[in-house]
Structure 1
Amino acid sequence: MVTYFEGPVLWAQLDANMHMRHSAYADFAAQARLNMLDKLGMKAEELVALKLGPILFREELIYHREVGPNDYLKVTCVMTKSRKDGSRWSIRHEIYRKDGVKAATINVDGAWIDVAKRKLGTLPEHLYQQFKQLPVSEDYVEE
């Protein structure tokens, strides 16, 4: 699987128990999604110029193993479901520690929003063609 984010756990991402706080997992997944879109040519600057952005309806975090101070993480992403027009989608992230152990699985359901109109929308054709190139899971479903 392709890694879309790699980096260390920062002091600010720890909780009082000295393990990574719950919201930091979501932050790593969000950065991995942005990096994945960027690698496909879907640049954040273009989305902003088009007044279009991703929006999440659901975010599920499943914790498998503890992540501690100074650990180094790798985050993968695959699309697990999407509508045929790409307007709605689901992505699975897996977070691995430096020792190769899977620390968490994060599942998100999302869509595209026109931020000016505050309404759900679709991608312009050229971005949709790039979006279709996202890696898909073995259990991928097209609706």
Structure 2
Amino acid sequence: MENVFYEGQVLWAQIDANRHLRHSAYADFCAQARSNMLKKTGLSLEEFALNNIGPILFREELIYFREIKLDEFITVTVEITKYNRTNSRFSFRHIIYKEDGVKSAVVTVDGAWLDIEKRKLVTIPENWHAYVEAIPKAEDYEEVSE
């Protein structure tokens, strides 16, 4: 499996009243996978802090296929599906797999980069373009311009 950025066990605290993974835990797993992926490409939390920039999400879509239960091990992949070099907006697709390799969910997020001090959207520093280029691209990846 390619582009795996998180693997782990489902914990008791992540289970809901129906005895399966609660909806917000899917987002948590994807956020951790995305953070791991960004760090691997060079965009660590330290790099964000040095530039007073952070990612902000505008939309998060979750499509369920199979439920995940307590103590199962999951794998999360991440790939970029869309990027606008002009305004630094992006879309990522995460796929969550059960331990038997069955696709459990697809989570898609759309976002951009935020200037932490000004609380306004910002384009990334020129040297970050190499980091963005290192992000795994989806087969249906598209670079867009306004």
**Pair in the same fold by TM > 0.5:** yes
8 A Cα contact 1:86 1:132, kept in partner: no
Tell me the CA shift for residue 126 of structure 1: 1.6
CA deviations 1:40-59 (Å, max 9, x no partner) are 11111120232100000000
Alignment-derived partner of residue 49 in structure 2: 48
3-state SS of paired residue (1:36): helix
3-state SS of paired residue (1:60): strand
User: Which runs of 5 or more structure 1 residues have no equivalent in the other structure?
Assistant: none
Alignment-derived partner of residue 106 in structure 2: 105
Q: How does 1:85-124 map to 2 (within 5 A)?
A: 85=86, 87-124=88-125
8 A Cα contact 2:9 2:71, kept in partner: yes
8 A Cα contact 1:86 1:131, kept in partner: no
Tell me the CA shift for residue 84 of structure 1: 2.6
Cα RMSD (Å): 1.0
Stretch deviating more after TM superposition (65-74 or 125-134): 125-134
Alignment-derived partner of residue 75 in structure 2: 74
TM-score scaled to structure 1, two decimals?
0.97
TM-score scaled to structure 2, two decimals?
0.95
Q: Distance in 2 between matches of 1:109 and 1:79?
A: 10
Q: Distance in 2 between matches of 1:40 and 1:125?
A: 15
User: Which runs of 5 or more structure 2 residues have no equivalent in the other structure?
Assistant: none
Tell me the CA shift for residue 121 of structure 1: 0.4
8 A Cα contact 1:53 1:115, kept in partner: yes
